[in-house]
Amino acid sequence: ATDLLTVLHELAHHVHYQLAGLAYGKHQNHGAAFVACYMSVLDTVRLIPYDAMLVILKRRKLKYVSPGPTLRTLRAALARCPS
């Protein structure tokens, strides 16, 4: 990894894998569930706030699930996400 965004992107993959559990195989590598993890990671490290990511995602019409404010809500969002 050559920059912070790349490291955080890969961390989001790890978080997605760990939280999705058996459902991970049903999710797309860069689908809505992954985006929820990435949004959570970026917000947690205070690099890109959640509200700013929402503007970017809506403007580009990208699919995402809201990660919510806590690990519990992120885990619940991943459980509901079909992709």
- What is the pLDDT tens value at each position of the chain, 83 positions in all? 579 999 999 999 998 888 887 777 778 888 888 888 898 899 889 899 888 988 998 999 988 877 776 667 777 777 776 65
Q: With both helix axes pointing from N to C terminus, report the angle between 50-59 and 32-44 in degrees, rounded to the nearest 10.
A: 140
Cα dihedral 47, 3, 55, 12 in deg (nearest 10):
-80
Determine the pLDDT at residue 44. 87
Determine the pLDDT at residue 70. 67
Determine the pLDDT at residue 12. 92
